[in-house]
Amino acid sequence: MAWTCSGTSNTALIDNMWKNGLITDARVKEAFLKVDRAHYSPSMPYQDSPQPIGHHATISAPHMHAAAIEHMLSYILPSSTSPAPRVLDVGSGSGYLTHVLAELVGDRGLVVGLEHIEALKVLGETNMGKSAEGRRLLESGKVRFRVGDGRKGWHEAAREGEEALGKGWDVIHVGASAVQVPPQLLEQMKAPGCMFIPVDDDEGGYSQHVWRIEKDGNGEVTRKKLFGVRYVPLTDAP
């Protein structure tokens, strides 16, 4: 699937993901088109493959970011039950997905990018600051980058007027693989809410699958194994 979607420009890359059925929703396509991957990937930004960003981290392949968004879309978009979606992006790395998510959560939504390496938290902010749109999102407070251990989740302090939005997360995206689903992340999911998380199949973490975990309005949790992947692990901070 990767490679076939590569392009010579941001538009070509996104168009190819659309043509290949990796992006199926026009709103998702529009969000991706607003974010130039060259601001986030230091090398070969329009190739559909992961690229190194330093600190043993990588920006994930575009088709993986597309899959994450497509599998959680109904929770990311504002709705009558959740007009101001709250999204936590664990292991925000380059900040690319954090930015694309922010294009989808609507006027009142919030996206928090969480990193355990300060330099990568700063990288995410710096990359977003390269475009006028990214700066606008940072200045408005819709996107915030924080430092912390993503396995513990994150409690974002409410700003004025945000108190009624609740504390949990409508969406938790995890960009690094877990040995098991961290209980604190499950607790912090709203009901309804959704999590996208790569989990090791075995002890060595040699094989992994992405799981989509959904919590319904009654707090009932269901899990679906989506597809095999190869992500860097969630670790202790260096």
Binding site for ligand SAH (CB under 6 A): 55, 57-60, 90-94, 96-97, 114-117, 120, 149-151, 175-176, 232, 234-235
Is the CB of 82 or the CB of 94 nearer to ligand SAH? 94
For residues 51 and 40, give the distance between their C-alpha atoms in angstroms, rounded to a whole number: 10
- At closest approach, how far in Å is the CB of 35 from ligand SAH? 12
- At closest approach, how far in Å is the CB of 136 from ligand SAH? 21
Is the CB of 171 or the CB of 234 nearer to ligand SAH? 234
Angle at 95 between CA 91 and CA 99, to 5 degrees: 120
Is the CB of 117 or the CB of 165 nearer to ligand SAH? 117
Is the CB of 127 or the CB of 165 nearer to ligand SAH? 127
Is the CB of 134 or the CB of 192 nearer to ligand SAH? 134
Active-site residue among 41, 49, 60, 94?
A: 60
- At closest approach, how far in Å is the CB of 118 from ligand SAH? 10
Q: 3-state class of 166 per DSSP?
A: coil
Q: Distances from the Cα of 171 to the Cαs of 40, 75, 77, 194, in angstroms?
A: 22, 6, 10, 5
H-state helical runs in the chain: 10-19, 26-33, 62-76, 96-102, 118-128, 132-140, 183-188
- At closest approach, how far in Å is the CB of 164 from ligand SAH? 28
Active site residue 60: yes
Q: Which long-range contacts (CB under 8 A, 24 or more apart) does 1-8 make?
A: 1/48, 1/63, 2/48, 2/49, 2/61, 2/63, 3/47, 3/48, 3/49, 4/48, 5/48, 5/62, 5/63, 6/46, 6/47, 6/48, 6/49, 7/46, 8/46
- At closest approach, how far in Å is the CB of 104 from ligand SAH? 15
Catalytic residue list: 60
